[in-house]
Amino acid sequence: MISLSGVPVLTTERLVLRAPEAGDWPAFDAMLASDRGRFIRTGEYDLSNTWRGFCHLIGHWAVRGFGMFVWQAKTDPTPLGMTGPWFPETWPEREIGWSVWNAQAEGKGLAYEAALAARDWAYRSLGWTTAVSYVAEGNARSRALALRLGASLDASAQSIGTPPCLVFRHPAPEALQ
């Protein structure tokens, strides 16, 4: 099995953020098949599209040199979610994206902790000066996380998706110091 080399490992108080790997597939698939997956997938659950999406996570690192980190507790290797810098070819702006894969990880501040570390890494290591987060209408948890990260609704930003997502603009790096 080939693994991604050169992907940094980030650590926070409670988490390890690492490269996606083949063993993460069952957790990713289960999340997209669940009700929470409706905010990410583009329609009904489809195994073929889900597999392509998973491979996209890994391929984004190879093509762009950055991508989503899979996050897990320091004390348990079970993948709990993903977060990180994201910029597919057709998107108008660079994103800090996230998703929680495991319901037991919700409501504990873990996604916030992971997204904060990933955004900091994107600003420091990639030199990003701005970032957005695309949030599906009706995804109250994701909207709350964007706001907790200090992002604000940017009605003038170009969106993605059908129907269009809400676009939250993150504070610039200098505003976070």
pLDDT per residue over 2-12, tens digit each?
678 889 999 99
What's the CATH number of domain 10-176, 3.65.10.10, 3.40.50.1580, 3.30.60.50, 3.40.630.30? 3.40.630.30
Which residues are bridge partners to 79 per DSSP? 72
> Pairing state of beta strands 69-73 and 95-100?
unpaired
pLDDT of residue 3: 74
Q: Is the pLDDT of residue 41 over 80?
A: no
Percent of the chain topping pLDDT 90:
88
DSSP alpha helices (H): ranges in 34-86?
47-64
Share of the chain above pLDDT 70, in %: 99
Helices 47-64, 25-33: axis angle to 10 degrees equals 130
Q: Are 35 and 46 in contact (CB under 8 A)?
A: no
Confidence of residue 68 (pLDDT cuts 50, 70, 90): very high
pLDDT tens-digit readout, 103-159? 999 999 999 999 999 999 999 999 999 999 999 999 999 999 999 999 999 999 999
* pLDDT of 89: 95
d(CA 62, CA 36): 27
For residues 15-33, average pLDDT? 96
**Which among 3, 20, 14 has a CA at the least distance from the CA of 66?**
20
Task: For residue 153, give the nearest of 140, 171, 163, 166 by alpha carbon.
Answer: 166
Query: How far apart (Å, rounded) are the C-alpha atoms in residues 94 and 126?
Result: 11
For the whole model, what pTM was predicted?
0.95
